[in-house]
Amino acid sequence: MTSTRRRLLVLVAAVLVLAGVGTGVVLHAAARADRQNQPQTGGPAVADGQLTLHQKKRLVFVNGAAGPHRTAVASVASADPKGRRTASDLKCARFYAAAGTGVCLQSTTGVLKQSNRALLLDANLRTRHTFALAGTPSRARVSPSGRFAAWTVFVSGESYSSAFFSTRTSVLDTRTMKLTPSLETFSVVRDGKPYHASDINFWGVTFAADDDTFYATLNTGNKTYLVRGSMSRRTVTTLVENVECPSLSPDGTRVAFKKRILSRTDLWHEYVLDLRTLKETPLAERHSVDDQATWLDDHTIAYALPSQGKVGTSDLWSVPADGTGTPRLLIAGASSPAPL
């Protein structure tokens, strides 16, 4: 009996200690989350303001600087990206806009799962339509004309030998409001022959100016391909291997992409591929880039890199698209750039 009592005492003591540690850990994390929403000294100037997608010569992005406007869609003057930020009250995990159409991917924590949705936005960032998402937001793009919007999410727990992920890429025709829930329903031509597989994944769509052609990454059998697709014919065709997250230049001649430099590692180098010659040019960025890059103009590429020493925040950098020059810090504490 005394032995049982002693064991119970040990248990009660342990429960108290462990509960204390657990509570401490949660409170610490909650305090840190609160601090993220407080403006920090030395941080950039962010102010509430009117933000429309019709404004010219501005760069829109998701603000990552600590403060009440963290994760809000904000904009700066393209000529002065380090200047004062104008922030809207729309908060997004991923964002893109073109020609007066915006897409905002949001994520909220529910009771038993994360709740994710995509918002289709008008030029005043008002929600035109909401779509439930199957997983965690990853990439978003709008066609140059503003007609098509595409997004990629990570879906967990569906591949057979794995408890982990696949991707789901959806495309929306904003004119007809017809949603293609998954590009996996498109027919695939690989190396000139029709191709079927259950392990096909698409991600990182980028649209051409003709409102039909698009490029994306296709993954199957542990290989990634750059594919060219047609919205009207519902097909994709593989072009070259080891290309991820393509981004088409405004003139439609080149694709910026991330290339895995070591198989089975998360290390990528940013390249530009000339679509006519299929010649690849490595860019001057030495760090591993895990982002779908954005063309600021026909000669400059912008992308996010994790902020030094800070978990969960990123900075925007830019680099010349021809492999010359050096990377330049564009906007600190920011992600999802979209030039207007």
Partner 1 sequence: MYLTDRSAPPKAGAADQGRRRGPVSGVAPVVLVLGTVSLITDISSEMVTAVLPLYLVTTLGFSPLGFGTLDGVYNGVSALVQLTGGHLADRVRNHKLMAGLGYGLSALCKPLLLLAGSVGALGTVLALDRTGKGLRTAPRDAMISLSTPAGRQGRAFGVHRAMDTTGALLGPLTAFLILRAAADGYDAVFGVSACVAVLGVLVLVLFVPGRRRAPDAPGAPEEGTAGRQPVRVREALALLRLPRLRALAGCAALLGLTTVSDAFVYLLLQRRAGIAEEWFPLLPLGTAAVFLLLAVPVGALADRIGRRTVFLAGHAVLLTGYALLLWAPAAPALPFLVLALHGVFYAATDGVLPAALAGVVPDHLRASGLAIVGTSQALARFCCSLAFGAAWTLWGPGPALAGSAAGLLCCAVAAGVVLRPADEAR
Q: Show the tokens assigned to 14.
A: 């342990």
By CB under 8 A, name the one of 88, 116, 174, 237 that touches partner 1. 116
Q: Which amino acid type is present at position 90? A: L
Is 185 a residue that touches partner 1 (CB under 8 A)? no
Write down the least CB distance from residue 196 to partner 1, Å.
7
Is 18 a residue that touches partner 1 (CB under 8 A)? yes
Are the C-beta atoms of residues 69 and 309 closer than 8 Å to each other? no
Closest CB to partner 1 among 81 and 137? Answer: 137
CA–CA dist 205, 170 (Å, integer): 9
Is 79 a residue that touches partner 1 (CB under 8 A)? no
By CB under 8 A, name the one of 66, 81, 238, 244 that touches partner 1. 244
Strand order in the sheet with 58-63: 46-48, 85-91, 72-77, 58-63, 334-339
Write down the least CB distance from residue 18 to partner 1, Å.
4
Closest CB to partner 1 among 123 and 189? Answer: 189
Are the C-beta atoms of residues 93 and 137 closer than 8 Å to each other? yes
Binders of partner 1 among 94-113, rule CB under 8 A? 107, 109-113
H or E stretch covering 15: helix 2-36
Closest CB to partner 1 among 53 and 305? Answer: 305
Is 29 a residue that touches partner 1 (CB under 8 A)? yes
Closest CA to 71 of 30, 28, 104, 119: 104
Q: Determine how β-strand 85-91 pairs with β-strand 46-48.
A: parallel
Distant-in-sequence, close-in-space partners of 144: CB < 8 Å, separation ≥ 6 = 98, 99, 207, 208, 209, 250
By CB under 8 A, name the one of 41, 80, 178, 311 that touches partner 1. 311
Residue 178, CA atoms < 13 Å, CB-side half-sphere: 4
Is 22 a residue that touches partner 1 (CB under 8 A)? yes
Is 181 a residue that touches partner 1 (CB under 8 A)? yes
Is 61 a residue that touches partner 1 (CB under 8 A)? no
Q: What is the DSSP-derived secondary structure letter of residue 280?
A: E
H or E stretch covering 26: helix 2-36
Is 56 a residue that touches partner 1 (CB under 8 A)? no
Q: Name beta bridge partners: 147.
A: none
Write down the least CB distance from residue 324 to partner 1, Å.
27
Closest CB to partner 1 among 79 and 112? Answer: 112
Q: What is the x/- site pattern for partner 1, positions 249-268, by CB under 8 A?
A: ---------------xxx--
Write down the least CB distance from residue 227 to partner 1, Å.
15
Burial class (CB in 10 A: 0-12, 13-18, 19+), 118: buried
Closest CB to partner 1 among 173 and 290? Answer: 290
Binders of partner 1 among 118-177, rule CB under 8 A? 132-136, 138, 154-168
The residue range among 15-23, 72-80, 142-150, 271-279 that interacts with partner 1, by the rule CB under 8 A, is 15-23
Is 1 a residue that touches partner 1 (CB under 8 A)? no
Q: What is the DSSP-derived secondary structure letter of residue 253?
A: S
Binders of partner 1 among 205-224, rule CB under 8 A? 219, 222
Q: How many residues does the chain have?
A: 340
CA–CA dist 20, 5 (Å, integer): 22
Is 16 a residue that touches partner 1 (CB under 8 A)? no
CA–CA dist 215, 83 (Å, integer): 34
Residues that bind partner 1 (CB under 8 A): 7, 10-11, 14-15, 18-19, 21-22, 25-26, 28-30, 32-33, 36, 93, 107, 109-116, 132-136, 138, 154-168, 181, 196-199, 201, 219, 222, 244, 264-266, 290, 306, 311-312
